[in-house]
Structure 1
Amino acid sequence: MVSTLEILRHTFGYDAFRAPQEEVIQTLMAAKDALVLMPTGGGKSLCYQIPAIARAGVGVVISPLIALMEDQVNALRQAGVAAAALNSSASPAEARATEEALLQGTIDLLYIAPERLLQERTLALLQRSTVNLFAIDEAHCVSQWGHDFRPEYLQLRVLHERFPQVPRIALTATADSKTRQEIIERLALQKAAVFIRSFDRPNIRYHIHSGSQGARNALLRFIRDRHAGEAGIVYCLSRKRVEEVAEWLQGEGLGALPYHAGLSADERRRNQQRFQRDEGVIMVATIAFGMGIDKPNVRFVAHLNLPKSIEAYYQETGRAGRDGLPAEAWMHYGLQDVVQLRQMIQQSEADLPRKQMEGHKLDAMLALCETTDCRRQTLLGYFSEHLALPCGNCDNCLQPPATWDATVAAQKALSAIHRTGQRFGVQYLVDVLLAREDPRIQQWDHHQLTVYGIGKELSANAWRALFRHLLLRGLVEVDAEGHGGLRLSPSSRPLLRGEEKLTLRQHESTTPKRRDKRPEVALQDADLWEALRQHRRELALAQGVPPYVIFHDVTLMEMLQRRPHDLEGLATVPGIGARKLAAYGESFLKILHRDPRP
C-alpha cells in the first residue's frame, strides 16, 4: 500500500501535511470516525481524498451542490486520480458507466448528493461495492439552526446503520459549540475523534461600515480602489437587489453577473462557469451562491446587507482568499437590515426556542458589527477561540474608531418612542425629533409633545444610526404585529432613569485606499506573471476547466520567485504533482526562461 505522505507528494505536489491533516488521515486509515472543523482553504478535502486513494475500495463523498462536485472531480482528474460523480447533470449512459466502474472497483472517489445517496437503489449499489469511507462535506447542513434547505442531511445517520464498519468523516468550516454537538448527535458520531483547527483566517482583512445611504458608491470605490480587475463576490439579501446591483456594476464598466434561485438553471450554470473560468469576474448573488465554489483566488467578498448570523458571515467571507494570499471582507449595512431581520424572525412559523436561538445569533452578528474592539478577536471569540492580541488586520485595528457619549441622545430617542405611543417607525421618530413638517405629526398632535424638535443637535443620519444601536443592544424592539413600529424593552429603563451610560462608535463614510496590490508582483516581473497566467488560461480553455484547476495563483507565484531551470526543480514547487509535471512542466519552463528580446 502506497504511504499517505507519498500520495501527498506524488499526486498533489506538497511536501508536508498541515496540522491536523496527518492525524485525521491516520484516524481514517485505522477505520475510525472523525469530525473535522477547519477554516475554508485549510485543506479539508485532502483529509478524506488521501485515505480514499490509499485504502482498498472507493471513498464516497456526500456533497450538497453539483458545482462543488464538478470542481473536485475536475481537480482530482487533473492530478491523475480516478474520480467520478453521480448527480442529475449526468446522462443515463454516463450514470450507468459510473455505476459499472464503481462495482468493478476502478474509482477512487465518488461524489454524490445526499438526495441520491438516500435512494434505496443507491444504498444497495454501495452495499455491493467496496466502500472504504464516507465523507460528509458541509456537515453544518445537519444543524436545524443552519442550512435547513437540505433536510436530507438530517437522514445521513443511515450510513452508520447500514455500513457500521465503514469509517465516516464529517467536515465543516463553520460550527459553534452547539452546532458541533448537533452534528455529533444527528450523525451518530459520539465515538468520533474531533479535530478543531483555528478558525482564524489571518489573510482576510475585515471592514464593516454602516449607514442608510451611499452603499453602492462605497462598494464601487472599494472595488475600484482596492480590487480593480480581480475576482470577487457581492452578497445581497434579495433577488431584486441582486439584479439591480449587477446591472448597475455592469453600467459602471465592471464584469458583474447575477446569481439567485429565480434565474433559470442554465443561466445560473453559465454565470457560475464564467465566474470560475474567467479572470476578474464579480458575482452578485444571494446566499444561494458560494457553497459549491472552490475558486481559490477570490480577492474580496462584499456584503450589501447584514448576514443573519456570524456563522453565515464567516462561511460567506471565507470564500475569499482560499489560496492563502491577502483578501478582504467588506460589508455595508443599514438600519433597515436590522429591522427586516428582526421582523423575519418574529414573523416566522418557527417555534419559540428556534426564534430565540435565531435572535441570539443575530444579536451576536450585530455585536460584531458595532464593536470598537478588534473584529477578529470578537469573531473568533464567538467560536470559543481566544486571540491574545488584536490582529492588526481589521478596520478597528488599522483605524481605531472614535467614540462619543450617546447617553442624553439615547434618552431623547427613547422618550420620543414612549411619548408617540410606541407605534411609529424610525423615520417618523426622526422627523419628530428634528421638528420636520409632516401632516401626520400635525394629525396626531405630536408637535405638541415635549420631545418635538429636541434633537436638532444631530443630523437625520446620526439619529438613524442611534436607533440602530438601540435596536441591536435590545433597548428597543420592533413591533412585528404592527407596521414595524418601535417600542421600549424592559432593559431600556436604567438608561432612561440615568442609571446607565451609553458610549457608541462614530461611523466613518470613507474607505481607506488600498496600500498594496495582491498578489504582490515586482514591476520587472509583471510581464512574466501575466504570461504565466495567460498560458494557464489557454490550457484551461482547451480542457474546459477553470484556470485554478491547472495551477493556483500561489503555485504560479512560487514558479515566478524560484525560476526553476528544469523539471526536477519545477517538481519542488508546491502544488505540482507528478501528473501535472508531466502534462505542463515543459511548457511553463519555456515561459519562465523565454528570451525577452524580440
Structure 2
Amino acid sequence: MLAQTAPSATDPLRILADVFGYAAFRGAQAEIVDHVIGGGDALVLMPTGGGKSLCYQVPAIARHRAGAGVALVVSPLIALMHDQVGALEEAGVHAAFLNSSLDGRDAERVERELTSGRLVLLYAAPERIASPRFLAQLDSLHARGLLSLFAIDEAHCVSQWGHDFREDYLNLDVLHTRYPGVPRVALTATADALTRADIVERLQLEDARVFISSFDRPNIRYAVVEKDNARAQLLRFIGDEHEGDAGIVYCQSRKKVDETAAWLNAEGIPALAYHAGLDADVRRRHQDRFLREEGIVMVATIAFGMGIDKPDVRFVAHLDLPKNIEAYYQETGRAGRDGLAADAWMAYGLADVVNQRRMIDESPAGEEFKRGQRAKLDALLALAEAHDCRRVRLLAYFGEPSTPCKPHQNACDNCLQPPATWDATEAARMALSGVYRFHQHSGKRFGAGHLIDVLRGKATEKVSQNGHQGLSTFGIGAGIAEPEWRAVLRQLIALGHLRAEGEYNTLELTETSREVLRGGVPILLRRPSATAGRGSRGVRRSGSGRGGDKPPPRELDADALARFAALKAWRAEVAREHNLPAYVVFHDATLADMAAAAPASLDALGQISGVGTKKLEAYGPEILRVLEGRAGRTAHEPPDQFA
C-alpha cells in the first residue's frame, strides 16, 4: 500500500506538465500510466517515437513521491542509459545507471544512492540483474518497501522469435519470482503475435494487461528499389533528398560496413562505421559523435541502433535485406522519432534472397525454429516484392488493418507512383524448365546468371563449353530483358519454387516447382522501373538541407528564423558543457515554438510544450535573453555571440 501524500504531487498529468513540459498524454499513455501507478503489470507495444519511456518514467516518479522507492529499468545499451539518465537529471528527476562504464568509486556512489532510497530510477543492463551482489541490494530495498516498479525495455530481446534475442534477458523472470508484489511493465516497439506470446511466457506476464498502440509511423515514407549498383543508388538517394542530414545505412557484413563508410567519406558525405568487430572505445566514440553532431551518417551492422534515442535521423537505408519484418520495422523506426518527415529506403536484389535463405538453411537451430524464420523471411520478401501499398502490408503483419497511403509527401513509393505489373507465369515456367534441362543434360547445376544467358540466347563462352546452345530452352526467353528475368528468379526463390545451393548459389528445383511448371501457380510481378537507380522520389523533401543550416520543423518568418538560429547556437553550448546530445536539452520542435511565440516572460515561456519546471528554472532567464537579443533582427544577420 502506498503512503498517502498531497494528490497534486502524484498526479500523472501534473508530473507530465511539471517535469516533462507536456500538457497531455498521447494515445494509450494515460491508461498505461494509471494502470502501472495502481500496481498493475503491463506489456506495452508502442512504435519507436511513440513515447514508451513516459509509460514507466511517470509512474516511477509518482510512486517514488508516494514513498514506494526506486524503479529499476532494464536497458540493453550503455549509451541509451547515459542519455536517458542525463535527460531525467536535466528535468529534475534523480536517476542513475549501473554499468561497465563506471569505475569502482562511481559505482559505489550509485549503490549508496540506491540503498538509501533517494534514487527515482536506476538503469541497469540485464547482465547485472542476475548477479548475487545486485540481487542482495534489491532484496534489501524490497524488505524496506523501496522497490517501486520494474521496467523491462526492448522486451522482444527475451524471445527466441524476436529479432534481437539476448540470452541475458532470460534471467529476468527472477524479478517476478523473487519480488512478486512489485509491478512490472515490459515494453517493445516490435513484436508479432508469436513474439508477444513468448514474452508473456518467459517473463511470467500472464496476468498483465496488454496495450497495443498503432504500429503506423505516418511520417515515414517507405521505398524499395531494385538493386542496380547499390552504392550509386545510395549516393543519388542521399544527394537528391538528404544532403547534410543525419542517417543510418545498414549493411550485413562488417567488411561492407567499413568499405561503405570509407566510400561515403571519399564522396564528401561524413560517415562513421559501427560493428562488433571494432574496438569498444572506437564504437563508443563513433556513437557519441553520431548522437551529438549534426549531419553524420552511421554505416552499421545490426549491432548498432537498439535504443538509439536521436530524434532527428532523417533516413534509414538498407543496402542488404534484413532478416524479417520485425527487424526491418525496428531499424527503419529509428528515422523520424521527432515526428517530422523521414525516409526508409532499401535496395533489394536476387543475392539478398539467396543469402538470407542460405543463412536460415545452414543455421544449427532446430527445424521448428527454421520454419518460423522462413515464414518471417517470406513475409519480408512479400513486402519487398509488393506492387500494392507497402504500409498496408507492413501493418497487416502486426495484425493492424489499414488503408492505402493517401497521396501526400510521406506516401510509400508504390502509392506515390503505382508500378506497372506483368504476368510472369509463362516466364517462370521457362526458367524452371531451363533448370530442369541443365540437370537432364549433364546432371550439373548452374547459377542465375548462366541460366539467364541461356534463356536469352546469349552464346557466351560458358554456354558453348557446356553445349547449352543445343538445349530446347536456349533463346526461348529472348524477348524478356535481363532485369525482368532477375525479378522472375528472385520471386521464384522468394516463394520457394527454386532453391540456391552451395558456394556458387547454383539453382535447383524444389517440391513445389512441378505445380508452377504445370501453370497452376500464377506469378504477377512489378515491372522493373526505368528509374530504379534513383532516389525514392527524386526531389528534396521538406526538412532536408545542409547539416548546419536545416530549416526548422515549422514555418517561421524572418525574425523567428533568426531567433531559432540563436536558440540552436545557445543549445549547442549548453549541450557541450553538460556533455549531452543537444536534443536532450530541448528538441528542435520546442525551440521552433519558442522562436515563433517569442515569449517575453518566464510564465509565457513555461507554456511552451517541452519546457518543464526544472528546465524553466535552469534555462529560462538565459532563453529570454537570447530571444530578446534577436528581437527585430532578420534571419540574414549573424547571431552575435551565439554564432
Equivalent position SS for 1:299:
strand
1:127: which partner in 2?
A: 139
Distance between the aligned counterparts of 1:494 and 1:104, measured in 2? 70
Does residue 96 of the first structure (1) align with residue 131 of the second (2)? Answer: no
Does residue 496 of the first structure (1) align with residue 517 of the second (2)? Answer: yes
**Identity in percent:** 54
Distance between the aligned counterparts of 2:564 and 2:452, measured in 1? 54
Distance between the aligned counterparts of 1:515 and 1:278, measured in 2? 22
Among residues 475, 479, 487, which one is paired with 2:501 in the alignment? 479
Q: How does 1:423-442 map to 2 (within 5 A)?
A: 423-442=445-464
Equivalent position SS for 1:157:
helix
Distance between the aligned counterparts of 1:522 and 1:226, measured in 2? 22
Distance between the aligned counterparts of 1:209 and 1:533, measured in 2? 36
Contact 1:343 1:484 in 2 (8 A): no
Contact 1:376 1:394 in 2 (8 A): yes
Q: 1:501 to 1:150 in 2, by over 3 A?
A: closer
Q: 1:534 to 1:148 in 2, by over 3 A?
A: closer
Equivalent position SS for 1:7:
helix
Contact 1:231 1:282 in 2 (8 A): yes
1:409: which partner in 2?
A: 427
After superposition, give the CA deviation of every residue in 1:216-263 in whole Å (9 maximum; x if it has no partner).
111111112211111111111111111111111101111111000111
1:83: which partner in 2?
A: 95
Q: Structure 2 counterpart of 1:502, which letter?
A: I
1:214: which partner in 2?
A: 229
1:200: which partner in 2?
A: 216
Q: Structure 1 counterpart of 2:288, which letter?
A: Q
Contact 1:64 1:113 in 2 (8 A): yes
Distance between the aligned counterparts of 2:404 and 2:453, measured in 1? 43
Equivalent position SS for 2:20:
coil
Among residues 524, 528, 545, which one is paired with 1:507 in the alignment? 528
1:341: which partner in 2?
A: 356
Does residue 557 of the first structure (1) align with residue 592 of the second (2)? Answer: yes
2:546: which partner in 1?
A: none
Q: How does 1:335-414 map to 2 (within 5 A)?
A: 335-392=350-407, 393-414=411-432
- In the TM superposition, what is the alpha-carbon distance from 1:145 to its structure 2 partner? 2.0
After superposition, give the CA deviation of every residue in 1:510-553 in whole Å (9 maximum; x if it has no partner).
33223532135457354443332222111111211100010112
Equivalent position SS for 1:418:
helix
- In the TM superposition, what is the alpha-carbon distance from 1:67 to its structure 2 partner? 1.0
After superposition, give the CA deviation of every residue in 1:383-408 in whole Å (9 maximum; x if it has no partner).
00000344441111111111112222
Distance between the aligned counterparts of 1:268 and 1:499, measured in 2? 52
Q: How does 1:268-283 map to 2 (within 5 A)?
A: 268-283=283-298
Q: 1:128 to 1:232 in 2, by over 3 A?
A: same
Equivalent position SS for 1:128:
helix
Distance between the aligned counterparts of 1:76 and 1:134, measured in 2? 17
After superposition, give the CA deviation of every residue in 1:443-462 in whole Å (9 maximum; x if it has no partner).
33222111122222233333
Contact 1:114 1:152 in 2 (8 A): yes
Equivalent position SS for 2:150:
strand
2:489: which partner in 1?
A: 467
Q: 1:485 to 1:523 in 2, by over 3 A?
A: farther
Does residue 69 of the first structure (1) align with residue 81 of the second (2)? Answer: yes
Distance between the aligned counterparts of 1:493 and 1:570, measured in 2? 71
Distance between the aligned counterparts of 1:52 and 1:11, measured in 2? 12
Contact 1:419 1:449 in 2 (8 A): yes
Distance between the aligned counterparts of 1:289 and 1:515, measured in 2? 27
Q: 1:221 to 1:528 in 2, by over 3 A?
A: farther
Contact 2:219 2:336 in 1 (8 A): yes
Distance between the aligned counterparts of 1:364 and 1:40, measured in 2? 21
- In the TM superposition, what is the alpha-carbon distance from 1:571 to its structure 2 partner? 1.0
- In the TM superposition, what is the alpha-carbon distance from 1:497 to its structure 2 partner? 2.0
1:261: which partner in 2?
A: 276
Higher mean displacement: 112-121 or 490-499: 490-499
Contact 2:313 2:334 in 1 (8 A): yes
1:580: which partner in 2?
A: 615
Contact 1:33 1:167 in 2 (8 A): yes
Distance between the aligned counterparts of 1:580 and 1:224, measured in 2? 38
The runs of 4+ residues in structure 1 deviating greater than 4 Å are 520-523
- In the TM superposition, what is the alpha-carbon distance from 1:321 to its structure 2 partner? 0.8
2:29: which partner in 1?
A: 21
Does residue 191 of the first structure (1) align with residue 216 of the second (2)? Answer: no
Equivalent position SS for 2:53:
helix
Gaps of 5+ in 1: none
Equivalent position SS for 2:313:
coil
- In the TM superposition, what is the alpha-carbon distance from 1:133 to its structure 2 partner? 0.4
Distance between the aligned counterparts of 2:566 and 2:314, measured in 1? 20
2:192: which partner in 1?
A: 176
Does residue 592 of the first structure (1) align with residue 627 of the second (2)? Answer: yes
Higher mean displacement: 410-419 or 388-397: 388-397
Equivalent position SS for 2:589:
helix
Distance between the aligned counterparts of 2:478 and 2:298, measured in 1? 42
- In the TM superposition, what is the alpha-carbon distance from 1:500 to its structure 2 partner? 3.9
1:418: which partner in 2?
A: 436
After superposition, give the CA deviation of every residue in 1:123-168 in whole Å (9 maximum; x if it has no partner).
1111111111000000000111225652011121111110011111
Q: Structure 1 counterpart of 2:495, which letter?
A: R
Distance between the aligned counterparts of 2:393 and 2:87, measured in 1? 35
2:70: which partner in 1?
A: 58
Among residues 433, 436, 443, which one is paired with 2:465 in the alignment? 443
Q: How does 1:231-270 map to 2 (within 5 A)?
A: 231-270=246-285
Does residue 4 of the first structure (1) align with residue 17 of the second (2)? Answer: no
Q: Structure 2 counterpart of 1:67, which letter?
A: A
Distance between the aligned counterparts of 1:166 and 1:176, measured in 2? 27
Q: Structure 2 counterpart of 1:504, which letter?
A: L
- In the TM superposition, what is the alpha-carbon distance from 1:54 to its structure 2 partner? 1.3
Distance between the aligned counterparts of 2:242 and 2:333, measured in 1? 17
Q: Structure 1 counterpart of 2:591, which letter?
A: L
Equivalent position SS for 2:512:
helix
Distance between the aligned counterparts of 1:402 and 1:461, measured in 2? 14
Contact 1:226 1:517 in 2 (8 A): no
- In the TM superposition, what is the alpha-carbon distance from 1:587 to its structure 2 partner? 2.4
2:568: which partner in 1?
A: 533
Distance between the aligned counterparts of 1:575 and 1:54, measured in 2? 19
Distance between the aligned counterparts of 2:563 and 2:384, measured in 1? 41
Equivalent position SS for 2:127:
helix
1:138: which partner in 2?
A: 154
Gaps of 5+ in 2: 544-552, 638-643
Contact 2:554 2:592 in 1 (8 A): no
Paired residues, number: 596
1:330: which partner in 2?
A: 345
Does residue 118 of the first structure (1) align with residue 137 of the second (2)? Answer: no
Does residue 48 of the first structure (1) align with residue 56 of the second (2)? Answer: yes
Among residues 253, 267, 288, which one is paired with 2:303 in the alignment? 288
Q: Structure 2 counterpart of 1:492, which letter?
A: S
After superposition, give the CA deviation of every residue in 1:22-74 in whole Å (9 maximum; x if it has no partner).
11111111111111000001111111111111112000000111111111101
TM-score, normalised to structure 1, is 0.96
After superposition, give the CA deviation of every residue in 1:167-217 in whole Å (9 maximum; x if it has no partner).
111000000011001100000000001111111111111111122x22111
After superposition, give the CA deviation of every residue in 1:472-503 in whole Å (9 maximum; x if it has no partner).
122212235x7422122233333322334322
Q: Structure 1 counterpart of 2:385, which letter?
A: E
1:516: which partner in 2?
A: 541
Distance between the aligned counterparts of 2:521 and 2:100, measured in 1? 59
Distance between the aligned counterparts of 2:43 and 2:477, measured in 1? 55
Higher mean displacement: 455-464 or 46-55: 455-464
Q: How does 1:277-316 map to 2 (within 5 A)?
A: 277-316=292-331
